[in-house]
Structure 1
Amino acid sequence: MSKPIVAIVGRPNVGKSTLFNALAGEKISIVKDYPGVTRDRIYADVTWLDNQFTMIDTGGIEPESKDLMLSHMRQQAQIAIDTADVILFIVDVRQGLVDADYKVADMLRKSAKPVILVVNKVDNFDKFMPDVYEFYNLGIGDPVPVSGASRLGIGDMLDEVINHFNKEDLEEVEDERPRIAIVGKPNVGKSSIINKLLGENRVIVSDIAGTTRDAIDTAVTYNEKEYVFIDTAGLRRKSKIKEELERYSIIRTVTAVERADVVLMVIDAVEGVTEQDAKIAGIAHERGKGIIIVVNKWDAIEKNDKTIYEYTRKVQDILAYMPYAEIIFISALTGQRMNKLFDLIEMVIQNQTLRVATGVLNEIMTEATAMQQPPSDKGKRLKLYYITQVAVKPPTFVIFVNDKELMHFSYTRYIENKIRDAFGFKGTSLKFIIRERKEKE
């Protein structure tokens, strides 16, 4: 099931980032420094009372003038309305009600999306409550007083947020069809791929739940199995600010990736992997999705017998953190290898949901530790006691060890490679959770 999306909207300096960071806690560094992955974090995973959701900060570039301010705010509100399940509208108790707040409130109210009005910077509830009540004038419900800086009232706010999930979200669960997101920069041929896939199997582009979320869902049947394609291509917005557009497309991509099982990362063969491609791939990797790198427009490349090999190596160099990703070379224009795409998708789905028996995993681990001794530090050696698989999508394993500190990333990677040697797991990342267990247990 895909996690609900919660978007933060509000004028500059109302404390959006402070609140975002307070909610994301120390886990704010979720986007590791992969080459090319954005440092400007716009999304974080939040867990509250067993509810998980993805929080998106629609903020971004602050416009210079007052007039631009309003159009900028409208743009933000539009992003939130398009992509979010719940919207947090942040206002500032110290600045009081401002004209822009009214204008944005109008848009949000008309959107019919659940909106929570959050009055920030309320460091002292007794003192500021009369000022908080003023925000009832916006007509979007009860204001929730919080202080991002001193973390007051955040629990109440999160209770409000999760109250709005559950009801609608559970309706989408029954849909067992695999979801495939087609992502990539503009003009890499995402739409042509969808159209080609539809070809004769054209299924009506129905209003599947979630279509309003600014991605177009299309059902495609292949070999009597139905797939849902989430296409982020069909929507363009005119924007004066290029960065804002890029940010917008990244937000849209995060949403599509979040809802998908497998991500088709489309790259223009002529252009090669760009920084934005690496950024988008990083998001899918972070989210543990199945990943297929689709090199489109292959017909436009001068080839000899080594071209595919060289090109593959180049892609793998740039996306070195996801060596498991499958790569396929196609042409949506000529239809070359398009039929192979479904076989690949099917294989990745199987791998994403593969479960390995605990006995077998422990045999592999025992053999691996015999072949390469676990690291030691100051005379203490790492011991691996036990491994078991606890989840799928992505396959997730827990390893019990005597000392977490000794379990270096490189040794985890070594164990991962041994498991991959045995089971392939092509096209999907694997997740490892390291737990400590005292000797006596």
Structure 2
Amino acid sequence: VIAVMDGRVGVSPLDADLAKLLRPVTKPVFLAVNKIDTPQAEPLLSDFYKLGAKAIFPISAEGGLGVDELLEALLPYLPQAPENQVQEEIPRIAVVGRPNVGKSTLVNAILGEQRLIVSDIPGTTRDPIDSMVSLHGRRYIFTDTAGLRRRGRIERGIEGYSVVRAIRALGRSDVAVLVLDGVEGVTEQDTKIAGLISKQGRGCIILVNKWDLRAGDREAYPTYNLELSRRFPFFAYVPVVFGAAVQPETLTRLFPKIDQVVADFSKRIQTRKLNLFVQELLEKNPMTLVRGNPKKSVFITQVATKPPTFALFVKSAPKVPASYLRYLEKSIRTEYGFEGIPLRILLRSQ
């Protein structure tokens, strides 16, 4: 048990009552006195010794001071991991989008329970909420995030803090499910959120939600696809699922896409195979540099995953045209997949 108390306020009546409740507890109790930011603040600890704690840990949760000492004291009481145990990597899926597009409804449908508050009022979800999901023997962590509004409409205080937390949750995820409103169509804010996903190098799947409301409209599907192509030209590699979060068949089509994107996010291609493939591309379409002879030999290797990153070694690297890099990226996708995954190609001089 870790009892956290406010060092600046001192021992309050509630702190004293908490200490009485913890005295009969047989489990180890650690008293952490927070907001002790500097050595000058340590005299504030004197009041807390009267609570009868065996050890008091002055900490600063905001600055991280004293946290290491607290963790070292906790370590002997934590269960030891079995030797040679391979830790399972659980994919993290962030559900992102504008307010009120159905993010929490989707996560509730995946969980099979009404765990998250759903309302027609935009901004109901404030903090990212992690939920463990098991399906067909595989585990996932889904994160429902706060709706991301235009910067000018974000209120200071709680909403601004929620947006920052949502962006951080996206950054630590493997894949983002971008939820769009099938009735309202694609907006400028949707485009900005998609750009944020691309900038952070996350895998992505687009879910066009509330599609059941347009079931009788024959022109809806081609019109919406055209709008996606116009608004998201940089997301041509991202799979799109049309459906409704409240319909089970939508999840049946969504999860195979998630599994594929998660697998491609950590995919690694052997250097030998990659160079043989690129050499074939050069023979078909040589890399012509500005004021130089066509390059017929380069070296390429994959240097990272999550997202897949490639280093292309070539003489006069700054002169390689951007159009050829786009051609190379498109060719790699055609040959090796990488559905829903941004690829990064770094130029390096030989």
Normalised to the residue count of structure 2, the TM-score between the two structures is 0.68
**Which position in structure 1 is the counterpart of 2:154?**
243
**Which position in structure 1 is the counterpart of 2:61?**
113
Q: 1:189-268 maps to which residues of 2 (within 5 A)?
A: 189-199=102-112, 214-233=127-146, 242-244=153-155, 248-268=161-181
Q: What's the offset of the Cα at 1:383? A: 5.3
Deviations 1:66-117 (A, max 9, x none): xxxxxxxxxxxxxxxxxxxxxxx9xxxxxxxxxxxxxxxxxxxx9953339x
**Which position in structure 2 is the counterpart of 1:372?**
285
User: Is residue 2:193 matched to residue 1:275?
Assistant: no
Tell me whether 216-225 or 245-254 shows the greater mean CA deviation: 245-254
User: Is residue 2:238 matched to residue 1:290?
Assistant: no
Q: What's the offset of the Cα at 1:284? A: 1.1
Indicate how the Cα distance of structure 1 residues 244 and 261 shifts in structure 2: closer, same or farther if over 3 A, else same: same
The amino acid that maps onto 2:61 is K
**Which position in structure 2 is the counterpart of 1:145?**
none
Q: 1:41-440 maps to which residues of 2 (within 5 A)?
A: 112-115=60-63, 176-199=89-112, 214-233=127-146, 242-244=153-155, 248-303=161-216, 307-382=220-295, 384-437=297-350
Contact 1:352 1:392 in 2 (8 A): yes
The amino acid that maps onto 2:328 is I
Q: What's the offset of the Cα at 1:335? A: 3.3
Q: What's the offset of the Cα at 1:313? A: 2.8
2-structure distance, mates of 1:427, 1:267: 16
Indicate how the Cα distance of structure 1 residues 313 and 367 shifts in structure 2: closer, same or farther if over 3 A, else same: farther
Q: What's the offset of the Cα at 1:305? A: 5.4
Q: What's the offset of the Cα at 1:363? A: 1.9
SS in 1 for 2:298: strand
Contact 1:250 1:280 in 2 (8 A): no
Indicate how the Cα distance of structure 1 residues 273 and 384 shifts in structure 2: closer, same or farther if over 3 A, else same: farther
Indicate how the Cα distance of structure 1 residues 285 and 294 shifts in structure 2: closer, same or farther if over 3 A, else same: same
SS in 1 for 2:93: strand
1-structure distance, mates of 2:98, 2:218: 28
Unaligned runs of 5+ in 2: 1-36, 38-57, 73-86, 117-125
Deviations 1:373-401 (A, max 9, x none): 21221235445511111111111111111
Report the RMSD for the aligned CA atoms in angstroms: 3.4
1-structure distance, mates of 2:208, 2:153: 25
The total of aligned residue pairs comes to: 266
Contact 2:307 2:343 in 1 (8 A): yes
SS in 1 for 2:235: coil
Contact 2:98 2:189 in 1 (8 A): yes
Contact 2:289 2:320 in 1 (8 A): no
Q: What's the offset of the Cα at 1:183? A: 0.5
